[in-house]
Every structure is written in C-alpha cells, then in structure tokens.
C-alpha cells in the first residue's frame, strides 16, 4: 500500500500515518519527493488490509499495490493455467469448450432436441435454466424441480454434462443432484452467502460477471468460492452496462486476455445476453473465440419464435452445427488446439 500525502500535509500528519501503519504490524517506508511525500506500507496482506487511511488528515489517497485476491491470482499457481475436466470435457489452457442449450428448460422435447443438436455439433456441455432470475416479479421463473428432472434425463440420454443456475440456497441439494457445473448469475455475483455455500459444495462453478463489476470484484467473488476449498471456478464475461443504448449490454472482450493475465482460472464468454439479438451472436462469438476465450456459453432453441423467454437471442438448433464450426475455427486462430474440433467439424476448409 502506498499512502500519498497532500502537498500541504504537516510533519505531524506524516507522523500519524507512520504510526497507524506500524500499529497494524506493517513497516512504513517514506519516499520524500520534491513536492510531496509518499509512505509505503510493507507487510503481510492481512496487516496491510487493516490500514484504512483514505480521507485521514493530510492523506491525499491510498494506492493499493498488492492485488486483494490471492487464490484467484496467476501468482498462486506460478503462471500455470487451471484446466478443468468435467465429465471428460476439458476447459482452460489449450482447451476450448462450447456450452450450449436453451435459456430455460420448457419441455422434454425442446430440451432433448436441443441437446442432441448441440452435442452432435461438438458442444462440450449442455446449459439450461430450471430457475430463472427475472427483473419482473410477474415474469416466468422457470419449471423448477421439473426442469431439473428434464436436465437429468437429457444428461443420461446424451452424456453431456449439465450447467444450470442456482439462485436460492434452499434449492442447493436439488441442483447438486443434476448440475455438473453450478451457474451463478450476474445479479448474484456478490451474493456472498450463495458464493460461500457453493464453495463448500465443492461443485464446479460458473461465475458470471456482474453488470457493473470490475474485474477485480469478479476475482474477489471467485475468491469467496476458492477459499472454501473449491478450486473449480469458471469466470464468465457476459456484457457490462454502459451509456450505449443500441444494445442491451456492451460485451467487454478486453476482459478475456486481462483476466487470463491476472488469474489462472478459465474465462468463458456469453454472447447471447450481451447482444439480446440472434444476428449479433455469431460475430460476437467469433470475436470472443479469436480473443482467446476458453469457451463460449450460448443459447440455442429448436424454435426460438415459440420460446418462453429470450427467444430472439437464441440460435436456431438446426443452424447450430454451422455456427459451431465457425466458432471453432476462430478459437483455432485464437490459439486453441485445433485437433479437438476436427473430430466433430472441419473448421477451416
């Protein structure tokens, strides 16, 4: 932590800061510039974290030097990337994984038709919501337990591992029965109770970035899960809130290489919710894969016009194979292993 003093800070104010730094067990190191003083506080992360001098007399500002997360940081694994293996599918490092399926589980037929389409096209996992967070209390909130049962059926029939969202801890046991990966929605990114309990469950988690969460806050949220001993966290960029009214959210693809630099955790991208429109999902998926994302999570429906929710952003199941082929080609350009997709598709030519 560097503590930048105001140019007008008095000798006493500097002394008071040094005292405070030393009172938490850290060492103070004064850098005396021509126009102002900076005090470096050196010590353990825990000690440093207890120095709260923002706004104290004579203090201009605090500049944190150490990252506030530890288990999520690249250094924690000495630069080696986490590669998850979920029911035989690899994600992270050189491995690219497509996660696809309906926004919400509607019926057995809808789910199975989609599951077969995406599985045949080389998707690594099946996504589908049984519990749906909705802005409006009057909207459809998912089939609940019935949805979970249908997901279990789809898993059995296709062998695809399941990604599904948990919103309410009271549903945790039910979700654990079917989910290979538990999805945490953007609005719950800082629901610390949920993060902690999913951490304790030990089940892999897909953690969506909040609508206005900084990358540091996303990694701190991951840290809540990791610190419970669960080291299988997938980070997910899904669009952030900006001033631009032309689309629902602004997909932030710079987050992909930057998160991969800051953290060892795999990073996937959700183009469906950011775009909100089918015709944008293609270009954004190609862009995400070319940027080096470790995977894409995308919405697919056999008949989007009849979908209960978010139909306009769903890819059409019949067209998914062609889409997947192009995305895999982009992932290859982005540096992922080409061989893995060649068994299911011929990416370039």
CB closer to its own copies out of 135 and 156: 135
Buried b / exposed e along 175-196 (16+ C-beta atoms within 10 A): beebbbbbbbbbebbebeebbb
Under the binding rule (CB under 8 A), the answer on residue 303 touching its own copies is no
* 223 forms part of the interface with its own copies (CB under 8 A): yes
Question: Sign of torsion, CA 156 157 159 162?
Answer: negative
Identify the DSSP state of 97: E
Q: Are strands 37-42 and 27-32 parallel, antiparallel or unpaired?
A: antiparallel
User: Does 68 engage in binding with its own copies (CB under 8 A)?
Assistant: yes
Cβ(190)–Cβ(217) below 8 Å: yes
Q: Which region, judged by CB under 8 A, interacts with its own copies, from 84-92, 100-108, 119-127, 325-333?
A: 325-333
Among 15, 65, 157, 202, binds its own copies (CB under 8 A): 65
CB of 191 to its own copies, least distance (A): 6
Comparing C-alpha atoms, which of 47, 48, 11 is closest to residue 30? 11
Question: Applying CB under 8 A, does 333 fall inside the site for its own copies?
Answer: yes
Q: Among 43, 102, 147, 295, which residue interacts with its own copies (rule: CB under 8 A)? A: 43
Cα separation, 103 vs 303, in Å, equals 12
Minimum distance, C-beta of residue 267 to its own copies, in the bound complex (Å): 11
Q: Is 56 in the site for its own copies (CB under 8 A)?
A: yes
Decide: is 348 part of the binding site for its own copies (CB under 8 A). Answer: yes
Going by the DSSP 8-state scheme, the letter that residue 234 receives in this structure is E
- Residues 93-152 binding its own copies (CB under 8 A) are 133-139
Q: Using CA atoms, how far apart are residues 226 and 220, in angstroms rounded to an integer?
A: 10
Using CB under 8 A as the binding rule, whether residue 305 contacts its own copies is answered as yes
Cα 46 to its chain centre, rounded Å, is 26
Among 13, 18, 24, 36, binds its own copies (CB under 8 A): 36
Using CB under 8 A, pick the residue from 107, 217, 316, 321 that binds its own copies.
217
Q: Are 133 and 166 in contact (CB under 8 A)?
A: no
Residue with tokens 């057995």: 108
Of 20 and 90, nearer to its own copies (C-beta) is 20
173 touching its own copies, by CB under 8 A: no
Nearer to its own copies, 86 or 224 (CB): 224
- Residue 339: how many other CB atoms lie within 10 Å: 9
Out of 77, 81, 257, 319, the only residue in the binding site for its own copies (CB under 8 A) is 257
> From the CB of 231, what's the least distance to its own copies, in Å?
14
How many residues line the site for its own copies (CB under 8 A)? 108
Q: How far is the CB of 246 from its own copies (least distance, A)?
A: 5
Residue 302 · residue 327 · CB < 8 Å: no
């Amino acid at each position: 932590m560097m503590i930048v003093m105001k140019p007008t800070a008095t000798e006493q104010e500097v002394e008071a800061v040094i005292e405070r730094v030393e009172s938490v067990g850290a060492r103070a190191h004064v850098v005396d510039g021509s126009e102002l003083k900076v005090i470096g506080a050196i010590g353990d992360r825990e000690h440093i974290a207890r120095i709260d001098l923002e706004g104290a007399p004579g203090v201009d500002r605090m500049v944190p030097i150490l990252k506030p997360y530890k288990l999520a940081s690249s250094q924690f694994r000495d630069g080696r990337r986490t590669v998850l293996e979920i029911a035989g599918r690899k994600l992270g490092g050189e491995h690219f994984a497509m996660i696809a399926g309906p926004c919400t589980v509607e019926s057995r037929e809808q789910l199975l038709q989609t599951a077969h389409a995406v599985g045949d096209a080389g998707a690594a996992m099946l996504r589908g919501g049984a519990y749906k967070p909705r802005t409006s209390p009057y909207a459809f909130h998912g089939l609940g337990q019935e949805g979970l049962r249908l997901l279990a059926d789809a898993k059995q029939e296709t062998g695809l591992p399941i990604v599904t969202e948990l919103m309410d801890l009271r549903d945790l046991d039910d979700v654990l029965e079917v989910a290979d990966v538990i999805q945490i929605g953007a609005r719950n990114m800082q629901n610390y109770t949920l993060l902690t309990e999913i951490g304790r469950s030990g089940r892999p988690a897909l953690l969506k970035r909040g609508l206005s969460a900084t990358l540091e806050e996303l990694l701190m949220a991951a840290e809540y899960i990791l610190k419970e001993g669960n080291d299988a966290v997938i980070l997910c960029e899904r669009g952030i809130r900006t001033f631009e009214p032309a689309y629902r959210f602004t997909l932030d693809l710079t987050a992909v290489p930057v998160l991969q630099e800051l953290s060892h955790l795999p990073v996937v991208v959700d183009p469906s919710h950011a775009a909100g429109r089918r015709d944008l999902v293609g270009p954004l998926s190609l862009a995400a894969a070319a940027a080096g994302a470790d995977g894409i999570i995308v919405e697919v429906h056999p008949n989007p016009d009849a979908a209960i929710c978010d139909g306009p952003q769903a890819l059409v199941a019949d067209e998914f194979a062609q889409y997947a082929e192009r995305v895999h080609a982009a992932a290859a350009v982005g540096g992922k292993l080409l061989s893995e997709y060649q068994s299911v598709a011929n990416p370039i030519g």
